Amino acid sequence: MFTADSAATPGGLGAGGVLVANRGEIAVRVIRTLRRLGVRSVAVFSDADADARHVREADTAVRIGPASAAESYLSIERLLDAARRSGARAVHPGYGFLAENAAFARACAEAGLVFIGPPAEAIELMGDKIRAKETVRAAGVPVVPGSSGSGLTDEQLAEAAREIGMPVLLKPSAGGGGKGMRLVRDEALLADEIAAARREARGSFGDDTLLVERWIDRPRHIEIQVLADSHGQVVHLGERECSLQRRHQKIIEEAPSPLLDEATRAAMGEAAVQAARSCGYLGAGTVEFIVPGSAPSAYYFMEMNTRLQVEHPVTELITGLDLVEWQLRTAAGEPLPFAQQDIAFTGHAVEARVCAETARPGKDRVDFLPSAGTVRALSEPDGEGVRTDSGLLAGTEVGTLYDPMLAKVIAHGPDRATALRRLGGALGRTTVLGLDTNIGFLRRLLAHPAVVSGDLDTGLVDRDAASLVPAEVPDEVYAAAALLRQSALEPGADGWVDPFSVPTGWRLGGEPAWTDHPLRVPGHEPVTVRVRGRATDAVVLVQRPAKEDGGAPEAAGQAVRARLVPAEPGRLILEWDGVTHVFATAAGPEGSWLGRDGDSWHLLDHDPVEAALRGGGAAGHAGALTAPMPGTVTVVKAAVGEEVVAGQGLLVVEAMKMEHLIAAPHDGTVTELDVTAGSTVAMDQVLAVVTPHDSEERE
C-alpha cells in the first residue's frame, strides 16, 4: 500500500496557507490535515459561528458577514476578500456552499489563488446533470434513461415523465446532496411536485432547472472515488455503498460494497475513470451510479460530484490515503506517485452521519424534522478502529440556518461484521445533550437484519423507519427525571429538618403521601410520576395519560422500588426495579436532558393548569396548525376565509435546507392565519387554524 511522505509541504503552500471556505465538521477535518502537513490554516466565519470549533482550531480566522449563508459562506466577494486580508495562497471549498460552484473556482483563479478542486470547466460540465449525462454517454459510460435537453418547461418535464412512465425521479440539474429530488409515482401529482422541486432547487443552488429520470425500484446507490493529477494520471480508490438513505439523503455509508464482486468493481471503477477523463478532471471526485440490486452488473451513471464527499473517511480507512492531502498535492501540481495496481484495500469501514433532528412518530409514518439548541453536554467516541469527525464543542449553538449534520462517526475493522459492531458501540458512547439528534435511530438501523446481512436498497430506511423509532419514552427515563427533581427539593444534611417540609410523603400516624411530578417530553403525551420516599430510597409509579376511549390514567406496571445512586457530575445512576441504568445528564434553562445508548430525552415540567388555559386559545383548537420545527415560512398558499379540503397544502416551512408542507387536517375554513412568507417561526408556534364546517354551523 502506498504511504505518502507527510513531511513534505504540498507546493510550498505552508507560508501563505489555505483558506477553508466552509464551516462545521468539514472545516475542522480539512484543518486537521493542514496542521499535519505544516500548512497554515485560515478559517472563515459568520456571526452565528464566531465561537465555533473550526474558528478555534484554525491558525487564523476571518469574519465574513452576518448569519445568513447568502451574505457569508455563499458570498464569493467576501471569501476572496478574506483570502486577501489573511494572505492565503489557496482555497479549499469543503463540500456544500460553493464547493461545486464554477464561478467561485474561476474567481479564485482570477484572484491568483489556487482552487483546491477541479477546473471551473469540469465543475460547470459535471454540475449540469443534463450535459454530464451526454458527456459520459459519449465516453461509453451507461446512463439512466430520462429527459434530454436543458431548460425544459413544466409541461415538457411532465410530458417527458409520461413518456418514460411512472414512477419517475425529478432532479435539479445543478447541485447535489439530494436537495430538490422528488420521487413521483402518481401522474396527477406531477405539477405540484415539479413546482416544489423547482422551489427547493432555486433555494439551494440558485438554479431551478430540472430533469426527469426513470425510477429504478429497490435500487442500490454505489459511488466510485476517483483521484486525478494534472499529468494525465487518473485512478479510482474503490467504491462506497450509499444505499441507506432517507429522502435521498445518505445517512450511513460503507466501503467496500457488500454487493459487488471483483469483476463488477473493476468495470465500475474503469467507467468512473473514463467519466473523470471525459471532463478533464483534477483532484478528488466521486462518480455516482445507480445499480439494480438484482442485477449489479447493470449499473447506470447518475452524476459526478466535483468535490470531496461527506463519506470520504470510509475510503481513507480502507486505503490508508488522506484524500484532503491528495487534493492539496494535486492542486499544487504534484503527480500521483502511484498507479491503479499500487492501490490496495484493507478491511471494511462504515460511517454514520450524526444530524440535528427530531423524530416524530405518527400512526403510520415518522417525520424527521430539524432540531436546534445549545450543546449542554458532549462526549465523542474513540477507541480501536473508531474515528470521529466533528464540528461540535460543549456550548455550541446549533441553529436552523445551515445543514443539520453535526458530526460523523466512522469505524474500521478487518471485516464488515466487526466494523458494524464497532460503529454501533461507538454510537452508543456518543452523547449530545441540548438538542435532538438521530444517534439512537442510527444504532437501531445498524442492527436491522437487512443491514446486517447487506441486503440494502435506497428505500429500506423510509419503509422501516417507524420500527426504528420508539413510540414511547421508557418508564425509567421518567423515573430518573422525577427523582432528580425530588432530590433537588430535599434539604441538605446539616442541622435539624422539619419532617413536614421534606417531600418524602411522611405523615404523622398515617399512610405516606405521594409527591407528584408532572413531566412531558416534546412530541409525547405528558405523564405523572408519583414518588413516595426520598430520592435515594423511593417507591415510584409512572402514570400514563388517559386512553383514547376515556379510560382512567394507566399505571405503567406496578409501583417500583427505585433510588438514585451518587455519581460524578454529568452522570445519573438509577436503580430501577433491581436494574441499574446509567444516564448522561445536563441541565438547561427549561427542564433537564437525559441520554443513554445514543438516545436522549428533554424532560420538561408539565403544568396541567397552564396547559388547560392555553387550550382555550388557538393552540388548543382541534384545527390549529403549529410549526413542526423552528424555521422560516417560505410559501403561503391560503388566506383567511378560504375553503380548504383535508390534505390541502397551506404553508411551507423551511429549516436546514429542508421543506415541510403544512396541510389542512380536515375539510373546513381557514379562520386564522398568523404568518406570511418570510416569517421566522418557533417550534410549536401556531401558524393557522382550520375550523371544520360542523364547528362553524354550531357557532
Give the predicted TM-score (pTM) of the model.
0.84
- Res 556: pLDDT: 47
- Res 174: pLDDT: 82
**pLDDT tens digits, 445-501:** 999 999 999 999 999 999 999 999 998 999 999 999 999 999 988 876 454 455 555
Please spell the DSSP secondary structure of 44-98, one letter per residue: EEEGGGTT-HHHHHSSEEEEEESS-GGGTTT-HHHHHHHHHHHT-SEEE--SSTT
C-alpha grid cell for residue 592?
433537564
Q: Which of the 8 DSSP states describes residue 182?
A: E
- Res 555: pLDDT: 47
**pLDDT tens digits, 231-264:** 999 999 999 999 999 988 999 999 999 999 999 9
Report helix, strand or coil for 321. coil
Question: Alpha-carbon distance 630 to 404, whole Å?
Answer: 12
**pLDDT tens digits, 173-214:** 887 667 788 999 999 999 999 999 999 888 878 889 999 988
Q: Classify burial at 568, counting beta carbons within 10 Å of its beta carbon; exposed 0-12, middle 13-18, buried 19 or more.
A: exposed
pLDDT at 154 over 50: yes
Count how many Cα atoms sit within 13 Å of the Cα of residue 644 in the half-sphere of its side chain.
Answer: 27
- Res 283: pLDDT: 98
Q: Which of 333, 281, 322, 228 is nearest to 118 (CA)?
A: 281
Question: Alpha-carbon distance 465 to 249, whole Å?
Answer: 14
- Res 360: pLDDT: 84
Q: Give yes or no for a contact between 137 and 131, defined as CB atoms under 8 angstroms apart.
A: no
Q: Give yes or no for a contact between 555 and 528, defined as CB atoms under 8 angstroms apart.
A: no
pLDDT at 513 over 90: no
Q: Which of 208, 205, 211 is nearest to 196 (CA)?
A: 208
- Count of Cβ atoms closer than 10 Å to residue 61 Cβ: 21
- Which of 199-208, 320-329, 587-596, 660-669 holds the top average pLDDT? 320-329
- Res 237: pLDDT: 98
- Res 623: pLDDT: 78
- Count of Cβ atoms closer than 10 Å to residue 163 Cβ: 11
pLDDT at 396 over 70: yes
Cell 461484521 sits on residue: 417
Q: Which residues contact 153 (CB under 8 A, 6 or more apart)?
A: none
- Res 697: pLDDT: 47
Q: Give yes or no for a contact between 484 and 564, defined as CB atoms under 8 angstroms apart.
A: yes
Q: Backbone phi, then psi, for 275, in 5-degree steps?
A: -60, -40
Task: Spell out the SS3 assignment of 153-175.
Answer: CHHHHHHHHHHHCCCEEEEECCC
What's the mean pLDDT in 204-229?
91
pLDDT at 614 over 60: no
Torsion of CA 497, 501, 504, 505, to 10 degrees: 130
Q: Would you mind telling me the total number of residues written for the chain in this entry? A: 699
pLDDT level of residue 523 (50, 70, 90 thresholds): confident
Question: Alpha-carbon distance 326 to 148, whole Å?
Answer: 35
pLDDT at 518 over 80: yes
- Res 267: pLDDT: 96
CA 294 to centroid of chain Cα atoms: 29
What's the mean pLDDT in 545-562?
67
What's the mean pLDDT in 415-432?
98
Percentage of the chain exceeding pLDDT 70: 90
Domains, the chain, in order of start with CATH, read: 10-116 (3.40.50.20), 145-214 (3.30.1490.20), 218-346 (3.30.470.20), 353-447 (3.30.470.20), 475-491+501-606 (3.30.700.30), 615-698 (2.40.50.100)
Q: Give yes or no for a contact between 104 and 123, defined as CB atoms under 8 angstroms apart.
A: no
Percentage of the chain exceeding pLDDT 90: 70
pLDDT level of residue 589 (50, 70, 90 thresholds): confident
Q: Which residues contact 546 (CB under 8 A, 6 or more apart)?
A: 552, 553, 554
C-alpha grid cell for residue 52?
465555533
pLDDT at 699 over 60: no
Please spell the DSSP secondary structure of 383-425, one letter per residue: STTEEEEE---TT-EE-SSS-SEEEEEEEEESSHHHHHHHHHH
Largest Cα–Cα distance of the chain, in whole Å? Answer: 92
With left for phi above 0 and alpha for psi between -120 and 50, is residue 416 left, alpha or beta? alpha
**pLDDT tens digits, 306-344:** 999 999 999 999 999 999 999 999 999 999 999 999 999
Please spell the DSSP secondary structure of 619-647, one letter per residue: GGSTTEEE-SSSEEEEEE---TT-EE-TT
- Res 177: pLDDT: 66
- Res 609: pLDDT: 58
What's the mean pLDDT in 378-387?
97
Q: Which residues contact 643 (CB under 8 A, 6 or more apart)?
A: 668, 669
Amino acid identity of 213? E
Q: Which residues contact 191 (CB under 8 A, 6 or more apart)?
A: 154, 158
What's the mean pLDDT in 117-141?
94
- Res 3: pLDDT: 39
Question: Alpha-carbon distance 229 to 326, whole Å?
Answer: 9
CA 357 to centroid of chain Cα atoms: 7
Q: Give yes or no for a contact between 580 and 565, defined as CB atoms under 8 angstroms apart.
A: yes
Q: Which of 443, 389, 384 is nearest to 414 (CA)?
A: 384
- Res 6: pLDDT: 47
Question: Alpha-carbon distance 60 to 383, whole Å?
Answer: 31
Question: Alpha-carbon distance 211 to 656, whole Å?
Answer: 24
Q: Backbone phi, then psi, for 151, in 5-degree steps?
A: 70, 30
Question: Alpha-carbon distance 430 to 571, whole Å?
Answer: 14
- Res 617: pLDDT: 44
